[in-house]
Amino acid sequence: MNEIPGETVQEQTFYEQVGGEETFRRLVRRFYEGVAADPLLRPMYPEEDLGPAEERLALFLMQYWGGPRTYSDHRGHPRLRMRHAPFTVDQAAHDAWLRHMRAALDDLGLAPEHERELWRYLTYAAASMVNSAG
Ligand code: HEM
């Protein structure tokens, strides 16, 4: 399969390996269900409707993992730390964010190596977003 001598084997992106758009949309949908019911996180989101925030996070993650570049077409360079600067991301917000992500990730039922890779990234990214002590 795909092993034609002398030709480059096109590797699948992580995005494709885990099931593409549908997988990332399921992850983020489930995550925002958690956010919607969270007394600490919900008030941080400026918009009444969480739908547009859900869309931005889904598009960002899809792009990050090798899917379409729609996020940057709409939003430009991610600059995520800068975009989080208006919000107080302290340890409690970090923990709540990751708790909902963990639940969402568990629901996806990915292969263990994919799950570990995604989780490693999410925990690293969440730690780097903290901008407030306490
Ligand atoms: C650590 C806890 C975090 C908190 C409390 C938090 C909270 C927020 C809030 C309140 C917004 C504004 C909602 C919106 O207008 O989209 C936002 C936006 C966003 N967050 Fe986070 N976030 C956290 C971590 C992360 C991490 C780890 C990532 C990436 C892996 C991420 C990716 C994004 C993206 C892509 C946006 C939309 C940026 C834009 O295009 O405007 N966030 N976040």
Summarize pLDDT for 67-91 with one digit per residue, the tens: 999 999 999 999 999 999 999 999 9
pLDDT at 55 over 60: yes
What's the pLDDT at 28?
98
- Which class is domain 16-129? mainly alpha
The predicted pLDDT at position 14 comes to 97
Share of the chain above pLDDT 90, in %: 90
What's the pLDDT at 79? 96
pTM of the complete model beyond 0.85:
yes
The whole-number average pLDDT for the span 28-57 is 97
CA torsion, points 17, 124, 24, 73, in degrees to nearest 10? -100
Pocket test for ligand 1, best of 72, 97, 121 (most atoms within 8 A of CB): 97
Q: Is residue 114 lining ligand 1, measured as CB closer than 6 Å?
A: no
Mutate to test the pocket of ligand 1, among 71, 83, 131 (most ligand atoms within 8 A of CB): 83
Q: What are the residue ranges spanned by the domains of the chain?
A: 16-129
Instruction: With cut-offs at 50, 70 and 90, classify the pLDDT of residue 126.
Output: very high
**Backbone dihedral angles phi then psi of residue 69, each to the nearest 5 degrees:** -95, 30
